[in-house]
């Protein structure tokens, strides 16, 4: 197949879950299909990001793009303007007439079999009537994330704003799920939610994968049996909310029973609120961006995923599982993954239960090792990226074949 892949960023540095999933998927697909990567570029990618793009595609069409810096006066002005818009801000901020023009031009010249829109954000720049089947790659049910933010917000103003964005996102997401010829979700739960909530008829589920060769124990790190580790992009609101809840409600319960327990918060761009956790809570360290997360996973006594907000599937769980590390997660943290409580990990949703599960792992090395080994075996058997990418390609072919029976309109 010839694939036109739409995105709103160059992938390098590959430092967050969505980028990891896209990079791994495209790298596998590139071996068998021709991929053109058409993306916005706001200048914040790594200096070599354009050159390294050839690791996952055959050519790049780059559309320069600028948006206000977060926290700037222009940023808050954009937020204010969005109050009278019908579109959610998380999507509207990526509006680019230049990207729309580039898509039309590429389709006219490229003879593509399918267009893949990666995440919901590029979708507002994809016009109708291009004559090419379209696939929406949904890493989350985006409206669910905003719904959960609304429910956990304690500030009335923030709750009202989150509620407004939730309603707008649900309307936009529903419209796009019905507009695209096919939708690919990352879990059966997300697939079923999109069908039920949005009336989307052609939705398939392609699971998250993991690089099982990369995420493997090296023997170069010494296990720290009382170190609790959390990994993730620390500028993503669900991660910030989850780790703050963990430090305030769960960690004190753990340290009361295991005084040597510590917490390492590992991930890019920690917000001021996250950095503050290291000064207000004993035993907490915040690393910021690290070149390689594997040493932290290999040293960990337990991996935690205390998310109360979020959607899609969590790559961090599979990465820890692949390295044989015992994991404790909330139901939302493990949402969409075909894992079981007590099988491949432990699940708890209240502070006391979560702390109890961590203490059990920290105090019983044999139990922790057995849990981790079951997890590693499951991941290596069922969730390599090669098998996942094959399923993704199959869904794209289904969209192409269906479109051949029901031809779309010509390019405008």
Question: What is the pLDDT, as a whole number, of residue 310?
Answer: 66
Neighbours of 9 (CB within 10 A): 21
For the segment 336-350, the average pLDDT, to the nearest whole number, is: 91
For the segment 383-396, the average pLDDT, to the nearest whole number, is: 90
Question: In degrees, to the nearest 5, what angle opens at C-alpha 106 toward C-alphas 100 and 112?
Answer: 120
CATH of domain 2-209+385-405: 3.40.50.2000
132: phi then psi, degrees, rounded to nearest 5: -130, 135
How do residues 249-293 score in pLDDT, each as one tens digit? 999 999 999 999 999 999 989 999 999 999 999 999 999 989 999
DSSP letters, 222-264, are: ---TTEEEEES-TTSHHHHHHHHHIIIIIHHHHHHH-TT-EEE
For the segment 158-179, the average pLDDT, to the nearest whole number, is: 93
**Alpha carbons 3 and 85: distance in angstroms, whole number:** 32
Q: What is the mean pLDDT of the chain?
A: 91
Q: pLDDT tier at 68 (50, 70, 90 boundaries)?
A: confident
**Alpha carbons 56 and 24: distance in angstroms, whole number:** 8
Q: pLDDT tier at 50 (50, 70, 90 boundaries)?
A: very high
3-state secondary structure 290-328: CCCCHHHHHHCCEEEECCCCCCCCCHHHHHHHHCCCCEE
How do residues 237-251 score in pLDDT, each as one tens digit? 889 999 999 999 999
The dihedral of CA 381, 382, 385, 388: what is its sign? positive
Question: What is the pLDDT, as a whole number, of residue 313?
Answer: 52
pLDDT of residue 369 exceeding 90, the answer is yes
pTM of the model: 0.73
**Alpha carbons 335 and 332: distance in angstroms, whole number:** 5
CATH code matching the domain that covers 227-382, chosen among 3.40.50.2000, 3.40.50.720, 3.90.330.10, 3.30.70.1400: 3.40.50.2000
Q: Where are the domains of the chain?
A: 2-209+385-405, 227-382
**Alpha carbons 366 and 372: distance in angstroms, whole number:** 10
Query: What residue ranges in 335-383 does DSSP mark as E strands?
Result: 346-347
Residues 6+ apart with CB under 8 A from 177: 136, 138, 183, 194, 198, 200, 203
Strand, coil or helix: 383: coil
Q: Which tops the pLDDT comparison, 383 or 106?
A: 106
């Amino acid at each position: 197949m010839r694939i036109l892949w739409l995105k709103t960023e160059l992938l390098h540095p590959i430092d967050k879950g969505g980028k990891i999933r896209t990079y791994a998927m495209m790298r596998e697909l590139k071996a068998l299909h021709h991929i053109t990567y058409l993306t916005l570029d706001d200048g914040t990618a790594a200096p070599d990001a354009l050159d390294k793009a050839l690791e996952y595609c055959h050519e790049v069409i780059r559309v320069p793009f600028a948006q206000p810096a977060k926290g700037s006066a222009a940023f808050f002005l954009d937020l204010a303007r969005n109050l009278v818009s019908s579109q959610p801000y998380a999507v509207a901020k990526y509006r680019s007439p230049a990207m729309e023009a580039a898509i039309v031009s590429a389709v006219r010249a490229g003879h593509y079999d399918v267009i893949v829109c990666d995440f919901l954000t590029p979708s507002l720049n994809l016009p109708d009537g291009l004559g090419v089947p379209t696939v929406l790659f949904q890493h989350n049910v985006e409206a669910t994330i905003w719904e959960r933010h609304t429910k956990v917000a304690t500030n009335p103003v923030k709750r009202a704003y989150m509620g407004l964005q939730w309603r707008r996102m649900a309307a936009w997401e529903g419209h796009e799920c019905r507009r695209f010829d096919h939708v690919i979700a990352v879990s059966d739960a997300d697939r079923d939610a999109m069908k039920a909530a949005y009336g989307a008829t052609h939705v398939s589920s392609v699971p998250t994968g993991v690089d099982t060769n990369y995420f493997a124990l090296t023997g170069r790190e010494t296990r720290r049996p009382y170190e609790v580790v959390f990994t993730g992009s620390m500028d993503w609101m669900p991660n910030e909310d989850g780790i703050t809840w963990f430090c305030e409600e769960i960690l004190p319960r753990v340290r009361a029973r295991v005084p040597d327990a510590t917490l390492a918060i590992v991930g890019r761009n920690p917000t001021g609120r996250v950095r503050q956790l290291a000064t207000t809570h004993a035993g907490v360290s915040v690393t910021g961006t690290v070149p390689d997360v594997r040493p932290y996973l290999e040293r960990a006594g337990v991996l935690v995923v205390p998310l109360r907000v979020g959607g899609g599937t969590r790559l961090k769980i599979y990465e820890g599982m692949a390295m044989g590390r015992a994991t404790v997660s909330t139901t939302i943290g493990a949402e969409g993954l075909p894992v079981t409580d007590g099988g491949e990990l432990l699940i708890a949703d209240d502070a006391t239960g979560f702390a109890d599960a961590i203490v059990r792992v920290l105090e019983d090395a044999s139990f922790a090792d057995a849990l981790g080994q079951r997890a590693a075996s499951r991941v290596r058997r069922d969730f390599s990226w090669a098998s996942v990418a094959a399923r993704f390609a199959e869904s794209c072919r289904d969209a192409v074949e269906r479109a051949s029976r029901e031809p779309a309109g010509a390019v405008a």
